Amino acid sequence: MSADAWAAELESEGSVVFPPRRVRVYARLVGFGLLTVVSALTNLQHLQNDDISGTLGVLRLTALAAFMYGTGHAVWQLITKRPVLTVDESGITRGRTLPWSAISRIDAPVGLPLARSVRVQPTDRRTRPLTITPDNVDDLDALTPWLRSVLTQHRN
């Protein structure tokens, strides 16, 4: 979708909803799933050889736990279809809502090509910024100026 389509949907529907992009979640599930299987097999092999002690043993087990977490998180996202990004008259919501009046600025997209993000900075420094990733929106470069224009409309 484009900024014009988002603007039209916001005007007609009252909100624009960006559900998780399933292709990215499936890719993450496959990646973490493969890493989990390989890590589990190597840990079992080291356990059979009685070679599970020491720093490397701890690192192998820690990596296995991290891969299992990544796999579980991807499964959770597929089942619950969350997090959903919603832009409406009250503000921007992705797990929690930042009202338009509480938004200081919307930063430009930053990060590596597959891990870029847009941060929505709150006016209150004690509040965590909202992070928008390609998990919800494919074109962050188009989303950023559109969000800034919506923010400007709510300030006027």
Under 8 Å between Cβ of 76 and 117: no
Q: How far is CA 111 from CA 66, 115, 116, 117, in A?
A: 22, 6, 4, 7
In order of 15, 17, 105, 111, 138, the CA distances from 22 in angstroms are 21, 15, 29, 21, 12
**pLDDT above 70 as % of the chain:** 100
Max CA separation in the chain (angstroms): 69
> Residue 143 has which token pair?
């989303």
Q: What digits encode the pLDDT tens for the residues 84-119?
A: 999 999 999 999 999 999 999 999 999 998 899 999
* Chain segment 40-67, per-residue pLDDT in tens: 999 999 999 988 888 999 999 999 999 9
Q: How many angstroms separate the CA atoms of 141 and 131, rounded?
A: 14
Contact 137, 85 (CB under 8 A): yes
Tell me if the pTM is above 0.75.
yes
What mean pLDDT do residues 116-132 have?
97
Beta bridge partners, 86, equal 17, 93
